[in-house]
Amino acid sequence: MSLIKRLGRTLALTDEDKTIIQTDIRISNIKRILYITAGTVCVNIFILFHFVYNVDTVTPVAIKWRRSIVLMHCILLIVDASLLGVAIYVNRAKKFYGVLSGFLIMAVFALLPLWGAAATILDQMVTPSIAAFFINCAACSMALLIRPVLSFSFYILAYIVFYAGIAVTQLDASALLSNRVNGFGSIALCFGLSIWLWRNNMIRYRQARLIKEQHKNIQDNYEQLLVFSDELKAANETKDRFFSIIAHDLRGPVTSTLALAQLINLQSPPDNNDEQHKLMQLLQNSLSNAAKLLENLLVWSKSQTNSIAFNPVFLNVHDLVESNFELLNLAASEKNIVVQCKIDNGLEIYADREMMNTIIRNLLSNALKFTGNNGEIIVTGIIAATEGQPGKTVQVSVQDNGIGMPAPVKDNLFKTGTRVLAEGTKKESGTGLGLILCKEFVQKHGGSIWAENVPTGGSCFTFALPLVANNNINAVSG
């Protein structure tokens, strides 16, 4: 009894396991019973026809054995046909969870070993073989999935019938002892096989259910992601349209107001009202920063919606720098900053003109902001190898002798998720959006951009674009 209790504790099912049995395993057993009962009906009919025409024989014992076999299979044919009818009804009606389906499974599992025991008992009249008992027990353990505790009970019942019955028909004591031992070995082997199949199928059903649940969760998550993706896409489109509209609508008034402030500031003598002149100077700087921000915001919104056309052509780098410096000449003259363009006139890059103007203008504007009065900005261009890029590149550097960059600012210059706040030498403000635009446009050309502090003071921003065949390989910095 201790073995049975230990097996019961080891094989005890949780509520989750019972649910599995009530669903997948029970359905599987009913479908298997359809084939088992149909097969046993055919076997019964075959044996009946075979034995009916061969009942007469030379010995009375053989005649008795054959007639007993015929009688047994007549009874089994009725029982198996009835079970087949019940199995067909349960399967068609889909009544897999009722009492009838449970009774059907138990009946078939009990019938097969008992059938084997009865056939073996009758066979002892003419042969000591117990093949029928072993075959039926093995077929039962392999064909049906049933809890080990119940299968143990059915195997023990069949063995008791086998143990007692063969003593009536097997008169040879040695053969009787051998058959009882072999019969016990048969049910032990079949019971072990039943436990192994039960455990393996339980694991398989659990894994299948887990995979099904995970697949459902993945499908649900995927559908949610699709919804979130659509919502995010709509939100981004709304945001981009909003930025574009705001930047476009505000650019005109701000630019006009900036021009008016510059005009008033130029026409107002400084010594007339020094305080008023300072206020006008602050107003002009504030409007200038707002205009730059709106310009960058408008360009950035276009870049996010892929509204900016990318039309690369061969461009003269020296001319690009000079044309952009002319736009910033007023800001440089206010601080008395000298800008030198030390780029060979033959140096060319293959790039989009508008994007290059945005990059160079932002880098020059950034250098002017952080360079003090009487400072110096040097723009150079060389052809050299760049780390992380194949082949040679055209490197354009904008170097100033201004205030430089603290390490936290330098590390976050080109990151969109981090806001870099740094004031210029005249308290000029900025958002870092211009440098983010520079990075996006450089990367669109397949290049790279970086910044570093100059040991003698100031900072240097460099961008590198791939060198193409028509570029002047011999061009170097001046």
199-208 pLDDT per residue, tens: 887 777 777 7
**pLDDT confidence bin for 275, thresholds 50/70/90:** low
DSSP-derived secondary structure letter, 405: -
**pLDDT confidence bin for 475, thresholds 50/70/90:** very low
Q: Which helix (H) or strand (E) holds 455?
A: none
Residue whose structure tokens are 């969109």: 416
| Alpha carbons 110 and 158: distance in angstroms, whole number | 8
**pLDDT confidence bin for 416, thresholds 50/70/90:** low
| Alpha carbons 353 and 363: distance in angstroms, whole number | 15
**pLDDT confidence bin for 432, thresholds 50/70/90:** low
Q: Are 180 and 166 in contact (CB under 8 A)?
A: yes
More confident residue, 41 or 291: 41
Residue whose structure tokens are 């440089």: 332
- The whole-number average pLDDT for the span 164-176 is 90
**pLDDT confidence bin for 160, thresholds 50/70/90:** very high
Going along the chain from its start, the domains and CATH numbers come out as 2-220 (no CATH), 310-478 (3.30.565.10)
List strands edge to edge, sheet with 459-466.
Answer: 338-342, 376-385, 392-400, 459-466, 448-453
Q: Among 60, 58, 75, which Cα is nearest to 119's?
A: 75
* Dihedral Cα 220, 222, 224, 225, nearest 10 deg: 160
More confident residue, 392 or 415: 392
Question: The whole model's pTM is what?
Answer: 0.47
pLDDT for the residue 3: 39
